[in-house]
Chain A
Amino acid sequence: MIGVDAGRGGRAQGAPLPRAFFLTPRGSLWGDRIFQGVVYAAVGLFALVMTGIVLALVVESMPAIRRFGLSFVTGQEWDPVKEAFGALPFIYGTLLSSLVGMFIAVPLGIGAAIYLAELAPFWARAPIGFLIELLAAVPSVVYGLWGIFVLAPFLRSWVEPLLGGTLGFLPLFQGPPYGVGMLAAGIILSIMTVPFIATVSREVLLAVPNTQREAALALGATRWETTWIAVLRYGRSGLVGAVLLGLGRALGETMAVTMVIGNRPEISASLFAPGYTMASVLANEFTEATSDVYLSALVYVGLLLLVVTVMVNAAARLLVWTVGGSVKGIRE
Chain B
Amino acid sequence: MKQSMATVLRTIGLVLAVSWLGVAALPAAGLAQTLMNGAGATFPYPLYSKWFDEYTKVDPSVRFNYQSIGSGGGIRQISERTVDFGATDGPMTDEQLKKAPAELLHIPTVLGAVVATYNLPGNPALHFSGEVLADIFLGKITNWDDGRIKSLNPGVSLPNAPIVLVHRSDGSGTTYIWVDYLSKISKEWEEKVGRGTSVKWPAGLGGKGNEGVAGQIKNTQGALGYVELAYAITNKLPVASIKNAAGKFIEPTIASTTAAAAGAASNMPADFRVSLTNAPGDAAYPVASFTWLLVYKDQSDETKGKLLTKFLWWAIHDGQRYPQDLLYAPLPAPVVKQVEAKVKQITFNGKPLVAAR
A interface, CB within 8 angstroms of B: 26-28, 30, 77-82, 144-145, 148-149, 152-153, 156, 176, 178-180, 258-259, 262-265, 274, 276, 280, 283-290, 295
Contact = CB atoms under 8 A, between A and B. Distances in A.
Contacts of A285: 170-171, 198
Nearest to B176: A288
B2 A290 contact: no
Interface of B: 1-2, 5, 42, 69-73, 75-76, 90, 93, 96, 162, 164, 169-173, 193-201, 204-208, 212, 215-216, 219-220
Contacts, number: 110
B194 A82 contact: yes
Contact of A288 (B96, B198, B207): B198
Contacts of A265: 200
A287 B206 contact: no
Nearest to B88: A290
B200 A263 contact: no
Given A149-B219, A180-B216, A287-B72, A80 B206 contact: no
A37 B16 CA distance: 19
B228 to A, nearest CB: 15
A284 B219 CA distance: 22
A81 B1 contact: no
B205 A264 contact: yes
B172 A288 contact: yes
Interface centre among A77, A263, A264, A295 (most CB of B within 10 A): A263
Contacts of A77: 200
A148 B194 CA distance: 29
Given A152-B216, A259-B207, A288-B170, 13 more contacts: A77-B200, A81-B199, A179-B220, A262-B206, A263-B169, A263-B205, A264-B206, A276-B206, A284-B198, A288-B70, A289-B72, A289-B198, A290-B72
| A27, A149, A258, A280, most chain B CB atoms within 10 A | A258
Given A148-B212, A288-B71, A178 B205 contact: yes
A30 B2 contact: yes
A189 B309 CA distance: 50
B5 A30 contact: yes
23 contacts: A28-B5, A30-B1, A81-B195, A149-B219, A152-B219, A153-B219, A176-B162, A178-B164, A179-B219, A258-B169, A258-B208, A259-B207, A263-B169, A264-B206, A265-B200, A274-B206, A283-B170, A283-B208, A284-B170, A287-B72, A289-B72, A290-B90, A290-B197
A288 B212 contact: no
Nearest to A83: B196
A210 to B, nearest CB: 46
A322 to B, nearest CB: 40
Contacts of B76: 290
Contact of A274 (B42, B173, B205): B205
B219 A81 contact: no
A107 B56 CA distance: 59
A28 B197 CA distance: 63
A78 B200 contact: yes
B198 A80 contact: yes
Given A178-B205, A263-B206, A26 B96 contact: no
A295 B171 CA distance: 12
Given A79-B200, A179-B220, A285-B198, A27 B75 contact: no
B72 A263 contact: no
A178 B198 CA distance: 22
A144 B215 CA distance: 11
A89 to B, nearest CB: 11
Contacts of B173: 288
A178 B212 CA distance: 14
A20 B53 CA distance: 71
A290 B219 contact: no
Contacts of B71: 288, 290
Interface hub of B170, B173, B194, B204 (most chain A Cβ within 10 A): B170
Nearest to A262: B205
A287 B42 CA distance: 10
A81 B208 contact: no
Query: Nearest 4 A-B pairs (CB), nearest first?
Result: A288-B171, A263-B206, A287-B70, A263-B169
B208 A259 contact: yes
A265 B200 CA distance: 9
Nearest to B212: A259
B197 A148 contact: no
Name the residue among B96, B172, B206, B215 with the largest chain A CB count within 10 angstroms: B206
B1 A27 contact: yes
B171 A284 contact: yes
A150 to B, nearest CB: 9
Contacts of A262: 205-206
A9 to B, nearest CB: 10
B208 A263 contact: yes
A288 B205 contact: no
B95 to A, nearest CB: 8
B215 A287 contact: no
Contacts of A280: 169
A179 B119 CA distance: 16
Contacts of A288: 70-72, 170-173, 197-198
A149 B199 CA distance: 26
Nearest to A80: B198
A276 B76 CA distance: 27
Contacts of A178: 164, 205, 220
B84 to A, nearest CB: 20
Nearest to B214: A148
A82 B190 CA distance: 11
Given A81-B194, A176-B162, A288-B197, A28 B1 contact: yes
Nearest to B76: A290
